[in-house]
Amino acid sequence: MPLEGHFQRVNTPLRRLAKRERNVVGAGLATMLIALAVLLLTTAGDSRPPTPAGCISVPVAGRTGAELVHGCGREAREICARAATRDDPGSKAIVASCGEQGIRPLASPATAAAD
């Protein structure tokens, strides 16, 4: 059976905060908000420079997270040729990046031997 006045007695604060305590809480809250704003502003945007012409730079799924596949010139064409022979999602991403950069893959050894 509930007691009369029990809820009010349990939920009444022992004392009101003093002006100094309110100022400390306000300063702490303001400091936290400023730190959060600085953190968001410093991490906003893309810090990775654009990929140069003739190069590919593609993040693909690796064993422990994203893995960056990067190559320029002949190396990029070799990477594109290897990826063109596979059917996994990472290879498809590499082939798409090769197409965006206008890189034509080198002839694979199997097709070069057939010619």
Smallest CA-to-CA distance from 104 within 68, 71, 76, 69 is with 76
Give the domain range for residue 12: 6-43
82 within a domain of the structure (yes/no)? yes
56-96 pLDDT, tens per residue?
888 888 888 888 888 888 898 888 998 888 888 888 888 88
What pTM, to 2 d.p., does this model score?
0.51
**Cβ partners under 8 Å of residue 94, min gap 6:** 56, 58, 60, 69, 79, 80, 83
49 within a domain of the structure (yes/no)? no
Residue with the bigger pLDDT between 42 and 25: it is 25
Residues 72 and 28 in one domain: no
Give the max Cα distance, the chain. Answer: 97
**Average pLDDT rounded to a whole number, residues 23-38:** 97
32 within a domain of the structure (yes/no)? yes
110 within a domain of the structure (yes/no)? yes
Report the alpha-carbon distance of residue 22 to residue 60 in Å, rounded. 51
Q: Hey, what amino acid is at 27?
A: A
Domain count within the chain: 2
